[in-house]
Amino acid sequence: MTSPTNAREWIALSLVPKLGPIRVKWLRQQQLPWPEGWMQQMSSAQRSYLRFLLSDHATAQLDTALGWEDAPLQRAILYPGHPLWPPLLDELDDPPMVLWASGNADCLTLPAVAVVGSRYASLDGLHHALSMSRQLACAGLCVASGLAMGIDAAAHRGALEAAGATIGVLGCGIDVVYPASHRALYQQLLEGNGLILSEFSPGTPARAGHFPRRNRIITGLCRGVLVVEARQRSGSLVSARLALEQNREVFALPAALENTNAGGCLWLIQQGAKLVTCAADILEEYGIEQQATSRPTGDSVASDPGADSLVAVLGAQALSLDSIAARSQRTPAECQLELQWLELDDKVLRVPGGWIKKIV
């Protein structure tokens, strides 16, 4: 054996201090005998700790982590060599050692496109992300994103509307919902045959330093990256740079010059990203025929079951966000997010003083 062969060994390796993914990829490439040949390339402290983790003395510690795997709940621990490990990840300079998975892991067998953009997207940006993701998913592509607010959420929702595949990659533990207002969307991915992935072990809180690491996995899983709406200095442009370094296609959606949220997209186009105006432009790049994607009559963008409760508290008189939160017994952050989707779905209007129900 020239590398770890099961989840227990890979988790043990991932716990060795200061043994990062770049070093581990180098060790894999050396074709050294596992584990002794690998240990010879480690410091004495790393060697001692890995021996401990591989021994019976660490059984309780590792069994807790291995307890995440549960076939009935569609939970799995993926690692290099696992039957469902995405081979594209091995092209990265620093591929993850372990991926915790929840949901339909068959999503990893489909060609994927990442859809990313601003957390504070405009309604036009949300509409484009949702519509294009729906069309990409309907054509058989998996839509990957980061389960963040704004464009990420619209991308996942669009794929779910098409009953297609979508992967959400987290910057926290697989069992941590971040942001908390996306609890319903997190559950919808699991119930809608989507997949949630994380490099971070269960219980790990979200931290700023985790998100660049998450972004390399989003782009690494995909054949291309679509940037829908992004500022010139944003995490989405970091994702685009990562995609270029990984030899992935980068697509960018143009926008009006006065849209400050889209300056990054215009810059990407200047730098050579492919300008796209519709999903067909991306599908053509991959030789895939576009499918019909019309929504069923009465289908709603705001698919959170709690959305109707917000519509119910609104009337012709404007209500502030705090008033809506108090009447619906939800937090202002949750209401703000859902009102955004209801506005996109043409059910509510934002007016001076707050929000009103739109009368059709």
Per-residue pLDDT of the chain (360 residues; tens, 9 = 90+): 899 999 999 999 999 999 999 999 999 999 999 999 999 999 999 999 999 999 988 888 788 889 999 888 899 999 999 999 999 999 999 999 999 999 999 999 999 999 999 888 888 888 899 999 999 999 999 999 999 999 999 999 999 999 999 999 999 999 999 998 889 899 999 999 899 999 999 999 999 999 999 999 999 999 999 999 988 877 888 888 889 889 899 999 997 777 777 888 998 998 889 999 999 999 999 998 776 554 443 444 444 545 667 788 888 888 888 888 888 887 787 787 778 778 777 788 888 888 788 765
3-class secondary-structure state, position 200: coil
**Structural domains of the chain, ranges and CATH numbers in brackets:** 1-65 (no CATH), 105-285 (3.40.50.450), 307-357 (1.10.10)
The pLDDT score that the predictor gives to residue 216 is 94
**Other CB atoms closer than 10 Å to residue 316's CB: what's the count?**
7
Express each pLDDT in 124-169 by its tens digit. Answer: 888 899 999 999 999 999 999 999 999 999 999 999 999 999 999 9
The pLDDT score that the predictor gives to residue 293 is 55
- Does residue 179 have a cis peptide bond before it, meaning omega lies within 30 degrees of 0? yes
Entry pTM: 0.84
Query: Which contiguous run of DSSP H or E holds residue 171?
Result: none
Residue with tokens 């944003």: 234
The pLDDT score that the predictor gives to residue 346 is 75
The CA–CA distances, whole Å, from 124 to 16, 153, 255 equal: 46, 14, 9
The pLDDT score that the predictor gives to residue 306 is 54
With the CA atoms of 187, 189, 190 and 193 taken in that order, what torsion angle do they form, in degrees rounded to the nearest 10? 150
Q: Give the rounded distance of the alpha carbon of 143 from its chain centre.
A: 9
Express each pLDDT in 257-290 by its tens digit. Answer: 777 778 889 989 988 899 999 999 999 999 987 7
Distance CA 76, CA 78 (A): 6
